[in-house]
Structure 1
Amino acid sequence: MGSSSGQSNGSYDLSFKILLIGDSGVGKSSLLVSFISASAEDLAPTIGVDFKIKLLTVGGKRLKLTIWDTAGQEKFRTLTSSYYRGAQGIILVYDVTRRETFTNLSDVWAKELELYSTNQECVKMLVGNKVDRDSERAVSREEGNTLAKELGCMFLECSSKTRENVEQCFKELALKLNFS
């Protein structure tokens, strides 16, 4: 009976809760769909909270990622404190073509994170999305890098449309979670 390859759906070594946060319309849901499946059509705004589960093998371990996607709109922000509870990984997303989504990360989201995040060892990643629209870029890669350092985050730029670096975001986060 010892021929089990460990691929049965229920089996995993570690489980992590990951949050996606950032302004409405920066592409949090698209990022998630692009990672989970292979397509990122234009999605309707998330109402409240949605989550997806992805099993990923990183560093020889099978990880179960429960990735929570939140609505960026103010009116849904009452759910915040419970939403942050127990999160081990947080991905802060901005749109490289919309400067205010970047400044809001330090003005709004980083403060909220400090307020609600219960986990001191929480692994954070700053993600600049929509790099496929480089001609419209309003936030430089350097600026992203600088903010990431300030906030103690890892940093990546990606495109949920072309899927460039999307898997990388979650994989690098998972690797760090795995070994932190």
Structure 2
Amino acid sequence: MSYSYLFKFIIIGDTGVGKSGLLLQFTDKRFQPVYDLTIGVEFGARMITVDNKPIKLQIWDTAGQESFRSITRSYYRGAAGALLVYDITRRETFSHLASWLEDARQHAVPNMTIMLIGNKCDLAQRRAVSTEEGEQFAKEHGLIFMEASAKTAQNVEEAFVKTAATIYKKLQDGVLELNGVSQFIPS
């Protein structure tokens, strides 16, 4: 299938926050309760439509372990969007967001669109990080924010599409350069 744009996304965050689950739910519409740890990087792709334009999302799911951090950094290159993920039931994953964000801002293009995702909102009864804290962190750092659940699919589609729509708007407004970040493929 042909597409007008190709946007590269990267999914970042601590190990075990559900990055691979979000990718699988978005690309395959399914949930896998048990995952092997991602070693290095996994890849997925899917077509979406924004403003009647077909857009291909190329999504790189990165390993969250510190030992893979140097490998992961090379995948920021050319990424137009990032999903920065934490687990709402594990406070330490929220505490590490500033470090992940610093990495992203250091290694990615300026004006990259970053969506902060509080994952596992289906486990609200075990919540360790409030929605308000997530909103506040996003506001302070200029991020888009959403809580989602890879298990129930709540807000998964919306997170990827909203991020892509924001990238598309930045391209239309001239805030983001096409070269190296994403590609425009004339029909």
Q: Give the TM-score taking structure 1 as reference length.
A: 0.91
Larger radius of gyration: 1
Contact kept in structure 2, 1:21 and 1:70, CA below 8 Å: yes
Partners of 1:77 and 1:116 in 2: CA distance? 12
Moved over 4 A (4+): none
Highest RCO, 1 vs 2 (Cα 8 Å, sep ≥ 6): 2
Aligned counterpart, 2:97:
105
Q: CA deviation at 1:50?
A: 1.1
**Aligned counterpart, 1:3:** none
The amino acid of 1:16's aligned partner reads F
User: Quick check: 1:45 aligned with 2:37?
Assistant: yes
2:13 to 4, 8, 22: 22
Q: 2:20, 2:114 → 1: CA distance?
A: 18
- Which structure 2 segments of 5+ residues have no match? 171-187
Question: In the alignment, does 2:124 pair up with 1:149?
Answer: no
Q: Return 5+ residue gaps in structure 1 as ranges.
A: 1-8
TM-score normalised to structure 2 length: 0.88
Range with greater deviation from structure 2 (47-56 or 22-31): 47-56
Aligned pairs, how many? 169
State the identity %.
Answer: 49
Give how far 1:45 is off: 1.3
- Does the residue aligned with 2:31 lie in a helix, a strand or coil? coil
